[in-house]
Amino acid sequence: MNILVLHGSSRDAGNTEQLTNLALEGVPYTSIRLREKNIRPIHDQRHDEGGFDAVADDYDEVTEAVLAHGFSDFLYADLLVRYVGAYEKLCRSLVAELA
């Protein structure tokens, strides 16, 4: 299995990151913390003759990682929905145990 985890939180070692680490313990995966990446806004130039101006940031690095992990096709959307559902169940069971 080829797993990529994109952490979108601004918090270091937040609840979601800790639960993800617990859920994937012993499983090989790649983790990207978006808060550590420099992703700059762009000016939409899709319809301009010259196209987009180059932006010096980490967008290409993140995009390449996503594509390298098999997310190049929307057919994977169903798998993502299933993982999110499984993740929700895991979180609920962990919360119930801690309560």
Average pLDDT, the chain: 79
Distance (Å, whole) CA 32 – CA 49: 34
DSSP conformation class of 75: G
Q: What's the whole-number mean pLDDT along residues 26-34?
A: 89
Task: Pick 92 or 35 by higher pLDDT.
Answer: 35
What confidence score (pLDDT) does residue 75 get? 44
Instruction: Output the pLDDT for position 8.
Output: 84
Using pLDDT thresholds of 50, 70 and 90, give the confidence band for residue 22. confident
On whether the pTM is more than 0.75, the answer is no
